[in-house]
């Protein structure tokens, strides 16, 4: 049976970068005989334009029956004024929620070749290798009640609910402990337990799990301090586990430590390790259609897909190595360019990775 990959290019630079990832997947398919098959569908603004909703039921069904999903990015100014329920982002949120993709892995790795692309000093970030494990289907993103209501005095009030049930905390905690165990054995749980009860419970559950993972050293940190520590001394972290919103924010900060958000892949897994893979960056409407976006985050997301959902470690390693090789060769898209390097566009970068795979 061929492995079914659903491609969801989405909006903005999404189609350009997913096209490059597909080239790379087709190449490893050929080299490693993976028997991959591809189907392409709509999400976000492009789905709104065609179906009037940011994720059609037919797309959801197709994704449900897939072995893995590779997404580009969603959103753009064209749809910014849409009501909250019809924003492009809702398509992505529904996909995450309905497929139960609660475990979001966001590695932030600094490629030695790009140590000078970071806005932080080289010695602060050299060798950086952090994994953020973000809870993705709960917390304030999905808590109810939510909305905007009108009070008796006519003033409007917006409200959301920050809620986590113990089982939600426990399962993401286990993912994080397991990940830490395979790395340097350090896990930092990030919360706001000095103010928010929901994270008092979060901290309690993490502490309760700790004795089951004696090889992992668990610590706790408040989110404001974690934001500060991430830019002050990021190498103190190995694995960070946190809730949906804190993870959203901290993962952007962590991404920038590496110099370019254009380099960072992510995985969102459910309990069977089926998953949705996407770059951490957004749809970058300002550069869409120009052929200059960096496809490496999406290519590396394809590698994570092979590793986590398709159990094809060798093919995944080959992609990671090929990306290292093109960086060694000096290929750089505009976002990671520095003087003396070879400036290339999206497609040339994809072609360079394909060529590096072949040797």
Query: Which residues contact ligand IPM by CB under 6 A?
Result: 89, 92-93, 248
Sole residue written with tokens 């109810």: 144
Pairs from 27-33 (Cβ < 8 Å, separation ≥ 24): 27/354, 27/357, 27/358, 28/306, 28/312, 28/315, 28/318, 28/319, 28/357, 31/315, 31/318, 31/357, 31/358, 32/312, 32/314, 32/315, 32/318
Q: Judge whether 58 and 94 are in contact, CB under 8 Å.
A: no
Segment contacting Mg ion (CB under 5 A): 84-92, 101-109, 244-252, 306-314? 244-252
Judged by beta carbon, residue 92 or residue 188, the one nearer ligand IPM is 92
- The stretch among 7-15, 125-133, 246-254, 343-351 that binds Mg ion (CB under 5 A) is 246-254
**Minimum distance from residue 44 beta carbon to ligand IPM (Å):** 9
Binding Mg ion (rule: CB under 5 A), the pick from 248, 278, 320, 335 is 248
Judged by beta carbon, residue 36 or residue 55, the one nearer Mg ion is 55
Q: Does 41 bind Mg ion (CB under 5 A)?
A: no
For ligand IPM, give the closer residue by CB, 3 or 76: 76
Helices (H), 157-286: 166-181, 197-209, 223-232, 244-257
Catalytic residue among 252, 337, 343, 351: 252
Does 20 interact with Mg ion (rule: CB under 5 A)?
no
Q: Which of ligand IPM, Mg ion, none does residue 92 bind to, with CB < 5 to 8 Å depending on kind?
A: ligand IPM
**Nearby residues of 240 by Cβ (< 8 Å), 6 or more positions away:** 130, 131, 132, 133, 187, 188, 189, 190, 226, 250, 254
Q: Which of the ranges 20-28, 240-248, 267-275, 303-311 carries the binding residues for Mg ion, by CB under 5 A?
A: 240-248
> How far lies 254's CA from each of 108, 130, 159, in Å?
6, 8, 28
Considering beta carbons, is residue 104 or 189 the nearer one to ligand IPM? 104
Q: Which of 111, 141, 213, 308 is catalytic?
A: 141
Q: Which residues bind Mg ion (CB under 5 A)?
A: 248
Query: Which residues are catalytic, by number?
Result: 141, 192, 224, 248, 252
């Amino acid at each position: 049976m061929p492995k079914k990959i659903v491609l969801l290019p989405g909006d903005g630079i999404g189609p350009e970068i997913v096209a490059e990832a597909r080239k790379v997947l087709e190449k490893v398919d050929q080299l490693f005989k993976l028997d991959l098959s591809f189907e392409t569908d709509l999400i976000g603004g492009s789905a709104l334009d065609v179906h009037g909703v940011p994720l059609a039921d037919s797309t959801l069904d197709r994704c449900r029956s897939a072995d893995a999903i590779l997404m580009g990015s969603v959103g753009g100014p064209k749809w910014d004024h849409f009501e909250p329920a019809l924003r492009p982002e809702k398509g992505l949120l529904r996909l995450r929620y309905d497929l139960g993709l609660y475990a979001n892995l966001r590695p932030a790795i600094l490629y030695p070749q790009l140590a000078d692309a970071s806005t932080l000093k080289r010695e602060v970030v050299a060798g950086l290798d952090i994994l953020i494990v973000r809870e993705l289907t709960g917390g304030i993103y999905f808590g109810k009640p939510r909305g905007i209501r009108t009070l008796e005095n006519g003033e409007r009030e917006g409200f959301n609910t920050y809620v986590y049930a113990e089982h939600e905390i426990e399962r993401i905690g286990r993912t994080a402990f397991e990940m830490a165990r395979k790395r340097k054995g350090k896990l930092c749980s990030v919360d706001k337990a000095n103010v928010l009860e929901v994270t008092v419970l979060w901290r309690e559950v993490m502490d309760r799990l700790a004795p089951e993972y004696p090889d992992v050293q668990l610590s706790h940190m408040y989110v404001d301090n974690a934001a500060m520590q991430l830019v002050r001394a990021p190498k103190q972290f190995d694995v960070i586990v946190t809730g949906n919103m804190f993870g959203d924010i901290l993962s952007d900060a962590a991404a920038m430590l590496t110099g370019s958000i254009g380099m960072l892949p992510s995985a969102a897994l459910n309990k069977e390790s089926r998953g949705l893979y996407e770059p951490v960056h957004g749809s970058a409407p300002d550069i869409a259609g120009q052929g200059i976006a960096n496809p490496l985050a999406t290519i590396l997301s394809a590698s994570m897909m092979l590793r986590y959902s398709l159990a094809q470690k060798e093919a995944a390693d080959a992609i990671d190595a090929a990306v290292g090789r093109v960086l060694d060769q000096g290929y750089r898209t505009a976002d990671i360019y520095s003087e003396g390097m070879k400036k290339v566009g999206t497609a040339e970068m994809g072609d360079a990775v394909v060529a590096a795979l072949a040797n």
